[in-house]
Amino acid sequence: MKLLISENIRIALGSIKGHKLRSWLTIGIIAFGIMALVGILTSIDAVKYFLKDNFSMMGANTFTIRNRTLRIHIGGGGDKNEYYRSITFDEAMEFKERFEFPASVSVSTWGTGIATVKYKSEKSSPNVAVLGSDENFIGNAGYELASGRNLSYIEIVDGRHVVVIGSEIVETLFKKNEDPIDKVISIGPGKYKIIGVLKEKGSSVGFSGDRRCIVPINNVRQYFSRPSMNYNISVLSDNPQKMEAAISEATGLFRVIRKVPIGEDENFSIIKSDNIVEMLIDFLKEIKIGAVIIGIITLFGAVIGLMNIMLVSVSERTREIGLRKAVGANRRRILYQFLVEAVVIGQLGGVFGIALGIIIGNAVSALIGSDFIIPWEWIGLGVSLCLLVALLSGILPAIKAAKLDPIESLRHE
């Protein structure tokens, strides 16, 4: 049996060499379909791992209290848009002082996303984010310090001109491997002393966690002030198993602080870090379904192309088939010969398609800063689909070849 299979594979490779253009076009169609499927699915896995890694830095025991900006009521008077006021600084700080659950509470606010940072003759593009925070923000947000120190309580209360910067800003401003600690840089019109540098976190689709400046929250309130500034509250529970209890207590306390009447819904949202990941992953599932549909449509075209090449091959090799039958080959052997040939073409297309798909998927992975991925699941799917394509394409031509009359075949010109 092994000898028969190896002989059929040798004949199949000989047939491919004899009809290079036709064979490689078919292999290319199959490879393109598998490449699209494996490439997109690998890219989705890379994005999924990236999201899990980055949001997991905040921990499964972290949640954020944010403002709900819009809500729609449906009643007798029709739809009504109600805009809720922002979470104020006093509300956020009152929550931080009164929340007695064993947890770390951080208050932060957005300063600007278009700041320009300068040091001597070097300056950044106007795309640096400035965040105002307290002493707990770096730990709650999953950041780590590469050098220097965190903001102190006194610096936050006084709103001093000190800053913790991201690694990308260091690369932009300090190109001669200078130590950035204690250097004075300009952020917009203000001068700030660098007290710490964050470890590199990487970027996602153009949004970099390494291109930001963290300054005392009272400094942002003074120098980046704007009407109706909104503040976010981050809570890091000491015990992940008591997460729901912490959320319940936080909800009750903030309802009191926001003076939400009994019976009415909260005018704020509590979002867990893993909830964000789940929502994004659910969205990726829809993209994955679309990728599978695209791959299947392309592979359907490959089925037609491969079946066509096999039917033409049977017609061109009718005399050869008659000769094989004349020297003793039965129908089963002829059937196996053409099926193996279809499988060889299909698997060649699969190998190239899988290789290209892995390269494309990991190019996306490298672009977003995720790890190298070998998608064994999708490799197995690609091999299986190629085998299915080969069998669907080869079965009719193989049956046709097996049923040929040896006498009529020998007469064929």
For residue 267, name the pLDDT band (cuts at 50, 70, 90).
confident
Number of domains present in the structure of the chain:
2
Higher-confidence position of 201 and 137: 137
Examine the pLDDT at 16 and tell me if it is beyond 80.
no
- Angle of helix 273-316 relative to helix 20-56, nearest 10 degrees, comes to 170
The values of phi and psi at residue 380, to 5°, are -60, -40
Structure tokens at 38: 């494996």
Q: What is the pTM of this model?
A: 0.56
For residue 62, name the pLDDT band (cuts at 50, 70, 90).
confident
The reply to whether 209 and 329 lie within a common domain is no
Higher-confidence position of 246 and 25: 246
The reply to whether 234 and 361 lie within a common domain is no
Higher-confidence position of 53 and 288: 288
The reply to whether 298 and 256 lie within a common domain is no
CA 209 remoteness from chain centre: 16
The reply to whether 246 and 289 lie within a common domain is no
**Of the candidates 121, 127, 166, 168, which has an alpha carbon nearest to the alpha carbon of residue 143?**
166
Q: Is residue 189 part of a domain?
A: yes
| Average pLDDT score, the chain | 80
Contact 132/221 with Cβ under 8 angstroms? Answer: yes
Highest mean pLDDT among 72-76, 105-109, 233-237, 259-263: 105-109
Higher-confidence position of 36 and 370: 36
Dump pLDDT digits (tens) for 339-365: 777 888 888 888 888 888 888 888 877
Q: Is residue 70 part of a domain?
A: no
C-alpha span between 226 and 223 (Å, rounded):
9
Lowest mean pLDDT among 8-12, 311-315, 390-394: 8-12
The values of phi and psi at residue 95, to 5°, are -60, -45
The one-letter amino acid code at 135 reads: E
Q: Which domain holds residue 372?
A: 2-54+279-411
Q: Is residue 66 part of a domain?
A: no
Dump pLDDT digits (tens) for 374-404: 778 878 877 887 888 778 777 887 787 777 6
Examine the pLDDT at 88 and tell me if it is beyond 80.
yes
The reply to whether 235 and 333 lie within a common domain is no
* Dihedral sign from CA coordinates of 279, 280, 285, 287: positive
Final residue in a domain of this structure, among 241, 266, 291: 266
What is the largest distance, in Å, between two alpha-carbon atoms of the chain?
102
Lowest mean pLDDT among 11-15, 87-91, 115-119, 235-239: 11-15
Q: Is residue 73 part of a domain?
A: no
Give the pLDDT confidence score for residue 273 in this predicted structure.
Answer: 65
The reply to whether 171 and 302 lie within a common domain is no
Dump pLDDT digits (tens) for 149-199: 999 999 999 999 999 999 999 999 998 888 999 999 999 889 999 999 999
The reply to whether 298 and 347 lie within a common domain is yes
Give the pLDDT confidence score for residue 205 in this predicted structure.
Answer: 40
The reply to whether 346 and 397 lie within a common domain is yes
For residue 8, name the pLDDT band (cuts at 50, 70, 90).
low
**Of the candidates 400, 379, 399, 393, which has an alpha carbon nearest to the alpha carbon of residue 343?**
393
The reply to whether 168 and 112 lie within a common domain is yes
